[in-house]
């Protein structure tokens, strides 16, 4: 539905072979950097440096930032020192740091050699923050103002220094020791009198993040409070950087992907599916499959224990899959609801008793519905003995109840002891609930059917 | 870690009973509207109108927008017509529309009666867009400029009209027929010469959404291109509104929650977990549990079919849970990887053969690892007959292969025929894979063990 200016890699390659450079340059200047980067991923490696050099000068750095790491590494290897410096000079510092974090040591050294000493110092500082901290995603390129400036002074300063800043729309007011004392938006500046002092119009009721705060918590603040940028302060409350909303949005999307992968028993990585090789995919999945397989053998032990009962009533075996699946599904529903509620900060520890009460009621309602439907089916369609049907239906009620209680409590418990609640999703819940369902099933069966 | 200015509902209630209104007002003015709204949710209904009236005038509308629907409805009922009009006048139009969409008809009528005719017309227009369209989340309060204005003119216009606009940082340039012809950011305006004409500095290479475009696709564009706002045009390419990044972020979070719920076989709603009652929760979960339970009974039929074999080899029963769970987990991993890749637009239809090839290889690697580990365990720990162990391990390999292929193809197929791929997650895959695993199991068993 949008302005259609996207070309396939084949067309681009064709123009390149035909040396239609000017045409290519025109096409590139009408495209979004993110779309150019996507085309570049599909172009043969050998042509990439040439194509990159055709890009309009003012777009080169933006396209470079949007490319995948393999492409970036390839280009850096092809760049002359001067070219590398040109691209680096145009990049925002937080993007440079992102790239450095993914490059092999030799490439990092070369990048740092091209940076001026001040930038090098700043890069090294950001690199020291842990991977999941606000410090690691912040940029230090913000507009800072002083409280005694006038609005007019502020605009002069923004005009003079704004070119290199990641955002100019929120400006930060610091005292002489770099402590954050206020925030003022360009909107406020524009609507104010040019002679007003910044101290009169700045917002002093501040929200900020600290360098070591979890980046996911910081990102959640953006979605809760609708900020465009959030200041980051160090332990001494000095302003050291800002996080912008585009980076916060990326963090949210990454965390969502991570949660979803963990819920499906996959070790999360930030590599897209199509870029992950067979071996890597195997490595992300096999530990969980192994662990869950071994846990599931305990369920087998339960069956072995009741082998005599099963030998006498082979018909009981036919309901094992249905009971196991239903228990797993019921538990999975509860656990995923809680995991998502925790991730969105909608659920607190103090809600636990309320949650268990609610899940118990929902479980009873679900269990009774399922048991009723199943009893009718067993009587009217399968024509099973009523006592056997009763055993199955009672098991359904008890195991749905157990599944929902286990499903809602384990994620909260996991979070409490410092684990990611997303681990406690369907696969683990299923394994635990399977064992419970089977024990309940055989207990009820041995009592009602007088086996053993 | 942030400025701690949040009070519990109990403290607020206490101050209210003690009539410490001035103190309350001070506290509120130091809090974020979103946090005040959270406190208001925990306050007894009867006190809500009084508390709301204590709010500083300039925050009232913001807090109102952040509240849940029950609280909003309660307040509207308590408002005088004048109070209602005051709050509505301060709200952005897209927020008003959001609230109207959730209110009963009688309340909607009262709201519309308080709006002036032009606003009423605009509200009715936005209400006509489908729920999941760009039109439904856009705001019509943007800054529009003309191409022949100077930068100075533009600033005059922004200063005059900017107060009521949701964002002033991106301004939209339209011709006399309201066609969108350019976009210019305040940043560009600030860095330009005051005498420059807008037409010289505006960006004419435009990305936009159309009113009927899926809001999720629009939100994805924000995360891909790092926009702060995106213009929305009608079928005749006339500018009708803009979508801002805060709304795009909300859409992304909602869609993520929806996907996660569907993956766990829950009917998605946009109500938070703690606000959903027992009956509503039951209604979201029971249809899927019923459907999956009935599907699982087919698996039971397979077991019944091989009853004779099981009667002869009861030991085979003990491995059914492990085989079913492992198949389900393996299939779930594949399906969730694909569902997420599709949601993030990382995967296209044309990738299908590549995906199946990769999943087949990963499945073989996983199957062999699992079979190897299991064979060792069965020989060394369980001391099972080698032939029985062989049956179980061969089944593992085949069912993991089948699970991964089913798991990766069904979400793509679902999307192709217009369904949400998230439906094809673990619960459905498990049900299908269970049946496959059991047939494979009994087929291999009857052949290798010469049963039947």
Q: What CATH number should be reported for the domain holding residue B73?
A: 1.25.60.10
Compute the average pLDDT of residues A357-386. Answer: 93
In this structure, are residues A389 and A299 in contact, taking their beta carbons and an 8 Å threshold? no
B163 and B94 within one domain = no
What pLDDT does residue A46 have?
A: 86
Beta bridge partners of B231: B242
What pLDDT does residue B375 have?
A: 94
Q: What is the CATH number of the domain that holds B176?
A: 3.10.580.10
B121 and B153 within one domain = no
Residue A305 lies in a domain: yes
Beta bridge partners of B232: B209, B241
Compute the average pLDDT of residues B273-279. Answer: 88
Put simply, whether B370 touches A (Cβ < 8 Å) is: yes
Residue B262 lies in a domain: no
Residue B268 lies in a domain: no
B439 and B295 within one domain = yes
Question: pTM, whole model, 2 decimals?
Answer: 0.81
Residues 227-266 of A with CB under 8 A from B: 228, 245-246, 249-250, 252-253, 256-257, 259-261, 263-266
Rounded to a whole number of angstroms, the distance from the CA of A428 to the nearest CA of chain B is 10
Put simply, whether A53 touches B (Cβ < 8 Å) is: no
A314 and A172 within one domain = no
Compute the average pLDDT of residues A160-187. Answer: 89
What pLDDT does residue A452 have?
A: 54
Task: Using the 3D structure, point to which of A128, A157, A186 is the last residue of a domain.
Answer: A128
Residue B63 lies in a domain: yes
- Residue A276: closest CA among chain B residues belongs to which residue? B358
What's the token pair of residue A182?
């206020």
Compute the average pLDDT of residues B195-209. Answer: 92
A66 and A18 within one domain = yes
What pLDDT does residue B57 have?
A: 83
A288 and A235 within one domain = no
Q: CA B396 to CA B378: how far, in whole Å?
A: 13
Q: Which of the two residues, A114 and A411, has the higher pLDDT score?
A: A411
Of B47, B96, B41, B46, which is closest to residue B70 (Cα–Cα)? Answer: B41
Residue A250 lies in a domain: no
Compute the average pLDDT of residues A308-314. Answer: 78
CB contact under 8 A, B186 and A191: no
Contacts of residue B256 in chain A, CB cutoff 8 Å? Answer: 256, 260
What pLDDT does residue B374 have?
A: 93
B contact test, residue of A223, A325, A422 with most B CBs within 10 A: A325
Residue A267 lies in a domain: no
Q: What is the percent of chain B with per-residue pLDDT over 90, rounded to a whole number?
A: 39
What pLDDT does residue B226 have?
A: 80
Task: Using the 3D structure, point to which of A128, A162, A184 is the last residue of a domain.
Answer: A128
Q: Which of the two residues, A116 and A49, has the higher pLDDT score?
A: A49
Residues 273-312 of A with CB under 8 A from B: 273-274, 278-279, 281-282, 285-286, 288-290, 292-294, 296-297, 299-301, 303-304, 307, 310-311
Q: What is the CATH number of the domain that holds A298?
A: 1.10.357.20
What pLDDT does residue A125 have?
A: 80
Task: Using the 3D structure, point to which of B67, B99, B128 is the last residue of a domain.
Answer: B128
What pLDDT does residue A3 have?
A: 41
What pLDDT does residue B452 have?
A: 55
Q: Which of the two residues, B143 and A6, has the higher pLDDT score?
A: B143
Residue B180 lies in a domain: yes
Put simply, whether A213 touches B (Cβ < 8 Å) is: yes
pLDDT of B1 over the 60 cut: no
Rounded to a whole number of angstroms, the distance from the CA of A389 to the nearest CA of chain B is 13
What pLDDT does residue A4 have?
A: 44
A289 and A214 within one domain = no
Average pLDDT of the residues of chain A? 88
Compute the average pLDDT of residues A60-71. Answer: 88
Write out the residue range of the structural domain in which residue A404 sits. Answer: 273-448
B234 and B101 within one domain = no
A220 and A314 within one domain = no
Residue A314 lies in a domain: yes
Compute the average pLDDT of residues A279-296. Answer: 90
Backbone φ and ψ of B240, nearest 5°: -115, -15
Residues 318-357 of B with CB under 8 A from A: 318-322, 324-326, 328-330, 332-333, 335-341, 344, 346-347, 351, 354
Q: CA A46 to CA A36: how far, in whole Å?
A: 17
A150 and A68 within one domain = no
A406 and A373 within one domain = yes
Contacts of residue B187 in chain A, CB cutoff 8 Å? Answer: 162, 168-169
CB contact under 8 A, B365 and A297: no
A295 and A190 within one domain = no
Compute the average pLDDT of residues B37-53. Answer: 87
Q: State how many domains chain B has.
A: 3
Task: Out of A247-256, A285-294, B391-400, give the one with best mean pLDDT.
Answer: B391-400
pLDDT of B147 over the 50 cut: yes
- Residue B366: closest CA among chain A residues belongs to which residue? A286
What pLDDT does residue A6 have?
A: 63
Mapping DSSP onto H, E and C, the string for chain B reads CCCCCCCCHHHHHHHHHCCCHHHHHHHHHCCCHHHHHHHHHCCCHHHHHHHHHHCCHHHHHHHHHHCCHHHHHHHHHHCCHHHHHHHHHHCCHHHHHHHHHHCCHHHHHHHHHHCCHHHHHHHHHHHCCCCCEHHHHCECCCEEECCCCEHHHHHHHHHHHHHHCCCCCEEEEECCCCEEEEEEEHHHHHHCCCCCEHHHHCECCCCCEECCCEHHHHHHHHHHHCCCEEEEECCCCEEEEEEEHHHHHHHHHHHHHHHHHHHCCCCCCCCCHHHCCHHHHHHHHHHHHHHHHHHHHHHHHHHHHCHHHHHHCHHHHHHHHHHHHHHHHHHHHHHHHHHHHHHCCCCCHHHHHHHHHHHHHHHHHHHHHHHHHHHHHHHHHHCCCHHHHHHHHHHHHHHHHHHHHHHHHHHHHHHHCCCCHHHHCHHHHHHHHHHHHHHHHHHHHHHHCCCC
In this structure, are residues B286 and A286 in contact, taking their beta carbons and an 8 Å threshold? no
Contacts of residue A354 in chain B, CB cutoff 8 Å? Answer: 274
Contacts of residue A328 in chain B, CB cutoff 8 Å? Answer: 328, 430
> Vertex B115, ends B113 and B117: CA angle to 5°?
95
């Amino acid at each position: 539905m949008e302005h259609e200016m996207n070309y396939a890699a084949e067309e681009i390659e064709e123009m390149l072979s035909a040396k239609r450079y000017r045409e290519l340059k025109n096409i590139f200047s009408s495209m979004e950097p993110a779309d150019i980067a996507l085309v570049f991923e599909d172009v043969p490696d050998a042509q990439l440096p040439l194509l990159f050099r055709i890009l309009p000068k003012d777009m080169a750095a933006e396209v470079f930032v949007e490319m995948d790491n393999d492409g970036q590494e390839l280009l850096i290897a092809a760049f002359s020192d001067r070219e590398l410096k040109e691209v680096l000079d145009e990049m925002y510092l937080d993007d440079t740091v992102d790239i450095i974090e993914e490059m092999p040591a030799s490439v990092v050294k070369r990048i740092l050699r091209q940076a001026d000493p001040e930038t090098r110092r700043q890069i090294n500082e950001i690199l020291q923050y842990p991977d999941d901290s606000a410090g690691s995603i912040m940029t230090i390129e913000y507009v800072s103002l002083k409280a005694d400036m006038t609005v007019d002074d502020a605009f002069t300063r923004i005009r003079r220094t704004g070119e290199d800043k990641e955002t100019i729309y929120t400006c930060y007011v610091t005292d002489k020791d770099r402590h954050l004392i206020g925030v003022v938006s360009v909107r406020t500046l524009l609507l104010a009198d040019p002679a007003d002092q910044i101290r009169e119009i700045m917002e002093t009721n501040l929200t900020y993040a600290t360098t070591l705060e979890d980046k996911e918590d910081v990102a959640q603040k953006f979605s809760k409070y609708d900020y465009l940028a959030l200041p980051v302060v160090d332990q001494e409350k000095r302003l050291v950087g800002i996080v912008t909303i585009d980076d916060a949005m990326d963090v949210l999307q990454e965390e969502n992907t991570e949660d979803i992968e963990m819920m499906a028993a996959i070790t999360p990585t930030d590599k897209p599916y199509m870029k992950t090789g067979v071996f890597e995919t195997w490595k992300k999945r096999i530990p969980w499959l192994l662990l869950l397989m071994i846990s599931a053998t305990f369920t087998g032990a339960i069956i072995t224990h009741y082998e005599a009962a099963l030998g006498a009533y082979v018909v009981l075996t036919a309901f094992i899959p249905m009971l196991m699946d239903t228990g797993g599904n019921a538990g999975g529903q509860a656990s995923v609801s809680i995991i998502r509620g925790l991730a969105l900060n909608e659920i607190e520890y103090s809600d636990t008793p309320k949650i268990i009460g609610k899940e118990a009621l929902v479980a009873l309602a679900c269990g009774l519905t399922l048991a009723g439907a199943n009893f009718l089916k067993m009587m009217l369609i399968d024509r099973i003995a009523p006592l056997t049907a009763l055993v199955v239906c009672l098991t359904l009620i008890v195991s749905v109840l157990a599944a929902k209680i286990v499903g809602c409590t384990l994620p909260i418990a996991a979070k409490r002891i410092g684990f990611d609640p997303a681990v406690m999703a369907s696969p683990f819940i299923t394994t635990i609930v399977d064992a419970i369902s089977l024990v309940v099933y055989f207990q009820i069966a041995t009592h009602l059917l007088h086996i053993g």
